[in-house]
Structure 1
Amino acid sequence: MFNLPTLLTWLRIVLIPMFIGIYYLPDKWLPPLDKNYLATGFFLLAAITDWLDGYLARKLKQTSAFGAFLDPVADKLMVAAALVMLVQLDRADAMFAVIIIGREITISALREWMAELGARKSVAVSYVGKLKTAAQMAAITALLFDAPLIPGIDTRFAGRALLVIAVILTLWSMVYYLRQAWPLMSGEENSTKS
């Protein structure tokens, strides 16, 4: 149960209150710009562990049912916490956060239900789901950073544009997964078997 990939997943969960807590430090302890840099660093470290734990689990053949359960939970907690913080900082639209978090809850519940029916592969991660995740991570990173990276490039504008793309991909992937699951949800699959 406790192997290197699972420990990296736990590290990602531990990093969540750390990158959120940075914004609650007094400005005289840590100036706002430094808060952005540090929070972005923690978020990027968490995102890297997301990729690394999956890679190591496959490479070292250390996959486990618990790790497969915990990994997406850590991902969703990380994204939801960052989005709520960005809404509070007035860097992200609350409606976008609701759409993204609502989709994550909906698809997680759908996957759980499909797994109980033995049809989890029907809602396995798709290419559009991977694009959605990449857009979300890029948008959140840019919005947390919130400072000019290259002269003339406004990271807040870029982050908000990426967040719009992430929301579009979020809705697209939700429709895709719901369509994949529709035969079981509507009972069509049972009627074709009988």
Structure 2
Amino acid sequence: MNLPNSLTIARLFLIPLLVVVLLTRFPNKEFIAVAIFLAASFTDWADGYVARRRREVTTLGTWLDPVADKLLVASTFIALVEMGLAPAWMVVILIGRELAVTGLRNVALAKGFSIHVSGMGKVKMATQVFAITSLILGTQFSFLGLLGRLALWLAIFLAIVSAVQYCRQFWLQVGVPEKSSRFREPVLSLRKHPEGDVPTQR
């Protein structure tokens, strides 16, 4: 197994550890949780960078990397809802968006093309990382809690806009379906007539 895939798998192993730390009561757990979360987020950048730099992009890595990203963010947000640090409806929107985009990508792959990550999607991911970090530390520093809630609203906006971009990219690749047969233009045909062949429409 190459280094980029090893980093991705390491991120997967950090997810349950992060959730346990968040949901367990002990002094200064917030700092440990943030350290684990940022380390996992760093591997998200590092695995892609190393794979491109060393030309070690693999099918496994291409599939596993976005799955690990979504599991990390979704698991952390769900833990924050349990802790009362994030509204459940916001988390539902963010996770629902991730599932919808993943579904589009899977359909695209089945049709033989891929949907590339947009710039807006990358900004959305960075905003989510900032929001999660601020919300966790907000239990110790109130001003960070406020920043985290504002960042969460921004993440919602970016999630919706980037989802629309992905849908547009998908439909541009798939193409517009053909017109229904009942909207077809009239076709001229010839029918027999006592006075000769007469064109008719059908």
Shared topology, TM-score over 0.5?
Answer: yes
Q: Which residue of 1 aligns with 2:12?
A: 13
Give yes or no for the alignment of 1:142 onto 2:134: yes
Aligned partners of 2:14, 2:178: CA distance in 1, in Å? 44
Matched to 1:91, the amino acid is: L
Alignment RMSD: 1.6
Q: Which residue of 1 aligns with 2:43?
A: 49
SS of structure 2 residue aligned to 1:188: coil
Give the C-alpha shift of residue 102 in structure 1: 0.4
Give yes or no for the alignment of 1:77 onto 2:65: no
Which ranges of structure 2 fall in alignment gaps of 5 or more residues? 180-202
The answer to which structure has the higher helix fraction is 1
Give the C-alpha shift of residue 144 in structure 1: 1.7
Q: Relative to 1, partners in 2 of residues 1:9 and 1:35: Cα closer, same or farther, differing over 3 Å?
A: same
TM-score, normalized by length of structure 1? 0.87
Give yes or no for the alignment of 1:86 onto 2:86: no
TM-score, normalized by length of structure 2? 0.83
Q: Summarize the alignment of residues 155-194 of structure 1 with structure 2, pairs less than 5 Å apart.
A: 155-183=144-172, 188=176
Matched to 2:113, the amino acid is: A
Select the structure with the greater relative contact order (CA < 8 A; seq sep ≥ 6).
Answer: 1
Q: Summarize the alignment of residues 99-110 of structure 1 with structure 2, pairs less than 5 Å apart.
A: 99-110=93-104
Give the C-alpha shift of residue 190 in structure 1: 6.0
Q: How many residues align?
A: 178
Matched to 2:116, the amino acid is: A
The answer to whether the 8 Å contact 2:21/2:29 transfers is yes
Q: Relative to 1, partners in 2 of residues 1:128 and 1:18: Cα closer, same or farther, differing over 3 Å?
A: same
The answer to whether the 8 Å contact 1:183/1:189 transfers is no
Q: Relative to 1, partners in 2 of residues 1:183 and 1:24: Cα closer, same or farther, differing over 3 Å?
A: closer
Which ranges of structure 1 fall in alignment gaps of 5 or more residues? none
Identity %: 39
Q: Which residue of 1 aligns with 2:54?
A: 60
The answer to whether the 8 Å contact 1:135/1:162 transfers is yes
